Amino acid sequence: MASNSFQCRLITPTAKVLDEAVVYASIPVWDGLMGVLPSRAPIVAKLGLGELHLQFADAGKAAGGSRSFLVEDGFMQMVSNRLTILASRAIPTEALVLNEAQAELSEAEGRRAPAGDRAALDRVTRDRERARAKVRLASGQRAI
């Protein structure tokens, strides 16, 4: 691993999605976006819903490039130049299909929570937020 990079692990309850050296990470935390660079001071934060954008270092003759994921809920920790992201969901943006995301958004916007059921209202709201994020990412729009 180059000195201008850090190890990034993305883990969900069902899989280790990624374990690679990156030079920058933009992470959706509960109150906004957090950028992480190499040698960052230790930190722990609660994840939000949004785009995790990773930039990779140049490796030999290969250009570094970048990758994005739609992540939701969980925690991130940066310590000793290692970023660990534990997310309840992580979907590669290249796996998102615009018409499927739009259909999911239409369905979510058509649902209503029973009056007085706060938990149901929270679920419907979260489903709408997730569907909107999928549409945004599937259509190629970036958060930053």
Neighbouring residues of 53: CB distance < 8 A, sequence distance ≥ 6: 25, 26, 66, 67, 68, 142, 143, 144
Residue 12 and residue 47: Cα distance in Å, rounded?
13
Pair 68, 130 in one domain: no
Q: Return the CATH number at 27.
A: 2.60.15.10
Could you give the percent of the chain with pLDDT greater than 90?
81
Kindly report which listed range (11-15, 55-59, 107-111) carries the lowest average pLDDT score. 55-59
Pair 52, 101 in one domain: no
Residue 1 forms part of a structural domain: no
DSSP 62: B
Residue 37 forms part of a structural domain: yes
Pair 14, 63 in one domain: yes
Please identify which residue in the block is written with the tokens 């250009």.
63
pLDDT band for position 63 (cuts 50, 70, 90): low
- Looking at residue 57, its pLDDT comes to 80
Pair 82, 107 in one domain: no
Helix (H) or strand (E) holding 7: strand 6-11
Pair 86, 16 in one domain: yes
Question: With 80 as the cut, is the pLDDT of residue 108 above it?
Answer: yes
Pair 81, 106 in one domain: no
Tokens of 144: 């930053």
Residue 24 forms part of a structural domain: yes
User: Interhelix angle for 98-110 vs 118-138, to 10°?
Assistant: 160
Residue 143 forms part of a structural domain: no
Question: With 90 as the cut, is the pLDDT of residue 75 above it?
Answer: yes
Pair 86, 132 in one domain: no
- Give me the sign of the Cα torsion angle 56, 59, 64, 66: negative
Pair 36, 101 in one domain: no
Q: How many Cβ atoms are within 10 Å of 2's Cβ, its own excluded?
A: 11
- Looking at residue 114, its pLDDT comes to 87
Q: What range defines the domain where residue 44 resides? A: 6-93
pTM: 0.85
Buried b (16+ CB within 10 A) or exposed e, 85-114: bbbebbbebeebeeeebeebbeebeeeeee
User: Rounded mean pLDDT of 64-84?
Assistant: 94
Pair 52, 116 in one domain: no
User: Rounded mean pLDDT of 20-32?
Assistant: 95
Q: How many domains does the chain have?
A: 2
Pair 70, 118 in one domain: no
33 strand-pairing partners: 28
Pair 44, 101 in one domain: no
Pair 28, 84 in one domain: yes
